[in-house]
Amino acid sequence: MAAATTTRVEIDSELLARLRARHPAKDDRALIEDLARVDLGFNALRTAQQRNALGEQDATDLAVHAVHDSRRAAG
């Protein structure tokens, strides 16, 4: 698997401190990547509901699957 390309970002220090307090075992990169995956999962849920007129449970299952796929791809 090829190495991931990284990008520097700026984040509010108070917000980052709150995230660190909630998840002390994770480094900053893991915190940000997890939040991005959650956002992508919710986006997949909304898209699936709109595109396929899925019920809430089916759309949730699809979104969870998308998040798991994203995590596996990230390695």
3-state helix, strand, coil in the chain (%, to 5): 70, 0, 30
Mean pLDDT by 10 residues, the chain (75 residues): 78 94 93 89 81 79 87 80
Residue type for 63, please?
A
Q: Where are the domains of the chain?
A: 26-74
pLDDT confidence of residue 13: 94
pLDDT confidence of residue 1: 53
pLDDT confidence of residue 17: 95
pLDDT confidence of residue 15: 93
Q: How much is the pTM?
A: 0.56
